[in-house]
Structure 1
Amino acid sequence: MSMINVTNLTFAYDGSFDNIFENVNLRLDTDWKLGFTGRNGRGKTTFLQLLLGNYEYSGSISASVSFDYFPFPVKDKKRSTLEVINDRVPEEYHWQVMRELSLLQVSEDVLDRPFETLSNGEQTKVLLAALFLQDNRFLLIDEPTNHLDREARQIVSEYLNSKSGFILVSHDRAFLDNCVDHILSINKTDIEVQKGNFSDWWENKNRRDQYELAENERLKKDIKRLSDAAKRTNNWSHEVEKTKNGTRNSGSKVDKGYVGHKAAKMMKRSKSIEQRQQSAIEEKANLLKNIESADSLKLSQLVYHKRQLAELEHISIHYGEKRVCSDISFTIEQGDRIALSGKNGSGKSSIIKLILGEEIDHTGTLRKGSQLKISYVSQDTSYLQGNLKDFARNHGIDESLFKSILRKLDFSRVQFEKDISSYSAGQKKKVLIAKSLCEKVHLHIWDEPLNYIDIFSRIQIEELLLEHAPTILFVEHDSEFCDKIATKRIEL
């Protein structure tokens, strides 16, 4: 057992006036399995890059282990998978490579195939196996679940559970619960470590939030009471002060020295109460420091004039000689929340593209309602660029509503001035979701909408879909999200 010590870590990007981290102090055991969570844009990937020594910072980071990052770059993806592994693992360890791949349920034949021909899931598993075979390494695993299907997520989480010595960035709650024993969280004002899995951390956070909210209500009442008392006392002292220039009821002269002394005492008391009030306000400012704001989202979907929006009957899709899926039949009716599931490569995105009207080589029959309006959220965000104002105008959506939704999804106002291409992966995905929520349509189709999306925003989206019950067809590998949202499941 050894420790990773982070002392007074402070960091800001060049040209930024705001620190991403300020005087952060942490002690992490190299045997821990750390789940790393926090809202998008808070600096999770930045923190990993700081551990790797890729940015200059003030403070110190000391460790007796070396850090490795997942996913590591593969320079030439046309090479065989075995050659890619050899870049990291000496040849004498090949028997261990086979053991690790077996644990990850990857067949031996992938070693002879060009790395670029492996599926996303196979590539993820191969890279993880290569990293875990190196000695004296602490792994920094950055969102391995993106584009992994549900079955692959289960396999990878069980594999990680058998290992130790890593920080795992993930927003999949069930995945984290299955393979971590500590949670490292980036909050609004600090970074903290707690023992337990994600559910333990979430329960503790909710309990602490409720306590802080109760304390806040108590404090607001105290402040009002103090404020009212200070106001009354201040009025009394001014009234007494005014009598210095008046006369007593008997007509005799007022003793100005006595009245002035009395007024000064009253004023001193008033100032004392004001100071108490200010202290109470400062105390209040220290409360609620880590309560995440997650305002309710809204969605207003158009009502289609028929109950049935679309029907697929015995659909089979082909790419050249390869059949992707076959004999798929289902209907989309008003109010359906349909989870389209299946392994990667089973044709989920192809079915979506067919419904969207793209030219897809297929047999069978697709019937869509006339004048059916659809809003689509794609997996890909790499093309996003430009400012939000132009983005809203180009897509014909209301700019103020669009930005209001982004604010509810934890965008700061300073983000509105930046180019979308500079956003984090999660923030880019939120741009697409916010656009979709602004569009007046009959049907929403979302293809892996939660990739890179933080847990707080996932819960917001869950609550939105449950409250407003729109008609939606979606592909999503987050098992907890699917279990809560889906009214129908189509397994490919």
Structure 2
Amino acid sequence: MRPHHYDCRLTTVLIFRSETRLIQLIQLQLAFGDLPLLDGASLSVQRGDSVGLIGRNGSGKSSLLKLIAGSLQADDGLIQREDGVHCVVVEQEPSLPDQASLFLSLLDRAKLNPSPEEPEAWQQLADIRAWLDRFGLDPERPLSGLSGGERKRAALALGFALKPDLLLLDEPTNHLDLAAIRMLEEAMERVSTSIVITHDRHFLDRVVNRIVELERGVLRSYPGRFADYLRLRADQWAAEDQAQRRFDRFWAEEEAWIRQGVEARRKRNQGRVKRLEALREAREARRQRVGQVQMRLDRGERSGKQVLECVGLGYQTPDGRDLVKSLDWVLMRGDRVALIGPNGIGKSTLIRLALGQLKPSAGQLRQGSQWQLAYFDQMREQLDEARSVAETISPGSDWIELAGKRMHVMSYLGDFLFSPRRAQSPVRTLSGGERNRLLLARLFARPANLLILDEPTNDLDLETLELLESSLQQYEGSVLLVSHDRAFMDAVATQTLVALGDGRWREYPGGYSDWIDQGGQWPAENRAGEGSPQETPTTTFSARDLQSAKPRRKLSFKEQRELEDIPLRIDTLETEQAKLQGSMSSADYYRQGAEQMRLDQSRLEQIDETLMALLERWEALQALASK
């Protein structure tokens, strides 16, 4: 297998020549607006490839999947497919045809006969039922009661049951809880070839063997997993920046020469003039990397030491099911707590109790002093579809106040990558990622010392997600969050509050991986329509889960600062140690007296102990940072 390189605008697209190639994209062009989504994009997919497709929100990833599936036509370029290749797509928000049951709806979606004559077709129907059972779904359930997560699981079950040559998944982990994501990861091992759009870094590391990034209309391929991609991308960006600096320097020199006038008009220099015109055209056509979101969190007034206190808190559903039972728990100032548990276990109920939207069945929930709350809603119900983006941020005014300073709403929205024209667009025209950015922009536009975040990572691209992590790590207020993004919980959470079933909750120190290390387990999801379980089964994590989860732990902002400060502290202590040892070894040291000699010896022992502790801490942080 030999790689062939196509050079296109300082990028290298890696295409493999192989007899097992399923599909090849050659110089694809596709545009819907001012800038093309695809601008000479090329890619080759072979049998056995597990491709993770990543890119910024709105870069064209979903459109690329449609092109590969054949449901969308490119403006230009060529798509070559292997004869008879069977391709199945599971969309970000899959639609299920209206039928009497979930099973019949899936058959309608796949255009399958519910009463076939061929044995192979009967086996396919049996496979669909078996996969529905693996994903915890009843085939005979009516569609009307299905949640978004259940619809997603049903579409995924159908995709695996059809055994395609190429499986295309668009954000498959959205709306899934951790147990369902683990089930999905195991199911992906049965698929020979796949292309997955996802921003779940843990999922990428578990599932894919190749990362393809769509940026500025071009596809770049990186072998390996997500961690390898980060290293290779950094090297490529450094090389690209250096090439652009050389180009700009040469262009500036040529522009200075043309302004001399007389020399440029001589006939023998006409070639140089034409070269300058070509340089101008190339510079004009050059697309810069998309900027980063700028997040500024205003902590507002300092809250009381206890932000939220639950005393014997209980909540029971009308059918008698306990979601919260005898909960005694305190959220302290500065805590960042992640709620963990399967869908339907009571995480959103606990948040609604904290917000005051529900009244507890028992006990009390006390709010601390100086409460300033900001709430991020995963269903985005806070957004008015008819309002413009700018009106959503600052109704009736062109200005907002941020950390005591006035800022124009257009400048503020620009920090969240909304152009002035996009800022005037109605909310209903925004994509899922743009809606999430808008909610974050509105959330951070007001002072708050308590953030309640319900699935804030859905639809966010990787760069925005990592910036959100960094902002929350530096945030001095308190955070209560629900997320199924394991890497996000590791980076942000200082504690986890885990649902154990039957309304019981337990707090663990650290993030998701720390919970796993402490033997993390949770009850299996109680499916809607199955009634209240008499016994609550648990899901226990295997050694593989422990091994794959641990490397995802990232340094927090404070830990990073600590890692940088430790060498300076060691130097200071070693200097003091050397000075003290020199003094104690001098000939006239005995003149200091017995008390001073005792104090010096005690201080020397204290320095030794502190140095040993600092060295051990530095090794632990350095090992964590290198993963």
TM over 0.5: yes
Once the two structures are superposed, the pairs formed by residues 102-141 of structure 1 within 5 Å of their partners are 104=134, 106-107=135-136, 110-117=138-145, 120-141=148-169
Is residue 299 of structure 2 the alignment partner of residue 315 of structure 1? no
CA distance in 2, matches of 1:371, 1:19: 49
1:302 matched residue in structure 2: 300
Shift of 1:396: 7.7
Aligned-pair RMSD on alpha carbons? Answer: 3.4
CA distance in 2, matches of 1:335, 1:211: 41
Which of 448, 459, 463 in structure 2 is aligned with 1:456? Answer: 463
2:28 matched residue in structure 1: 9
Q: Tell me if structure 2 keeps the 8 A contact 1:32–1:166.
A: yes
More deviation, 207-216/275-284: 275-284
Shift of 1:265: 10
CA distance in 2, matches of 1:265, 1:449: 58
CA distance in 2, matches of 1:28, 1:37: 15
2:331 matched residue in structure 1: 332
CA distance in 1, matches of 2:73, 2:220: 22
CA distance in 2, matches of 1:215, 1:11: 27
Shift of 1:2: 3.9
1:485 matched residue in structure 2: 492
Q: Tell me if structure 2 keeps the 8 A contact 1:80–1:113.
A: yes
Shift of 1:375: 0.8
CA distance in 2, matches of 1:47, 1:154: 26
Check 1:230–1:12 CA distance in 2 against 1; reply closer, same or farther (3 A cut): closer
More deviation, 199-208/4-13: 4-13
- TM-score normalised to the size of structure 2? 0.64
1:45 matched residue in structure 2: 62
Q: Tell me if structure 1 keeps the 8 A contact 2:59–2:217.
A: no
Which of 218, 221, 228 in structure 2 is aligned with 1:190? Answer: 218
CA distance in 2, matches of 1:437, 1:401: 15
Per-residue CA shift, 1:248-301, capped at 9, x if unaligned? xxxxxxxxxxxxxxx8699999999999988888888898x5645325422121
Once the two structures are superposed, the pairs formed by residues 428-447 of structure 1 within 5 Å of their partners are 428-447=435-454
CA distance in 2, matches of 1:58, 1:283: 22
Q: Tell me if structure 2 keeps the 8 A contact 1:446–1:474.
A: yes
- TM-score normalised to the size of structure 1? 0.81
Q: Tell me if structure 2 keeps the 8 A contact 1:189–1:290.
A: no
Query: Paired residues, what number?
Result: 456
CA distance in 2, matches of 1:111, 1:422: 35
Tell me, which stretches of 5 or more residues in structure 2 are unaligned?
Answer: 1-19, 113-120, 401-406, 500-627
Q: Tell me if structure 1 keeps the 8 A contact 2:37–2:216.
A: no
Check 1:213–1:133 CA distance in 2 against 1; reply closer, same or farther (3 A cut): same
Letter in 1 for 2:226: F
CA distance in 1, matches of 2:71, 2:268: 57
CA distance in 1, matches of 2:302, 2:330: 15
Per-residue CA shift, 1:465-485, capped at 9, x if unaligned? 123343211111111111011
Which of 393, 411, 414 in structure 2 is aligned with 1:407? Answer: 414
Q: Tell me if structure 2 keeps the 8 A contact 1:12–1:21.
A: yes
Shift of 1:365: 0.7
Shift of 1:213: 3.4
Q: Tell me if structure 2 keeps the 8 A contact 1:35–1:169.
A: yes
Per-residue CA shift, 1:213-243, capped at 9, x if unaligned? 345556667777x489859x95xx9xxxxxx
Question: Equivalent pairs: percent with the same residue?
Answer: 25
Is residue 402 of structure 2 the alignment partner of residue 416 of structure 1? no
Q: Tell me if structure 2 keeps the 8 A contact 1:397–1:439.
A: no
Q: Tell me if structure 2 keeps the 8 A contact 1:141–1:167.
A: yes
Check 1:181–1:290 CA distance in 2 against 1; reply closer, same or farther (3 A cut): farther
Tell me, which stretches of 5 or more residues in structure 1 are unaligned?
Answer: 238-262
SS in 2 for 1:167: strand
Q: Which of the pair has the greater relative contact order for Cα pairs under 8 Å at 6+ separation?
A: 1
SS in 1 for 2:105: helix
CA distance in 1, matches of 2:181, 2:339: 17
2:368 matched residue in structure 1: 369
Per-residue CA shift, 1:16-36, capped at 9, x if unaligned? 444322333332225422211
CA distance in 1, matches of 2:21, 2:240: 35
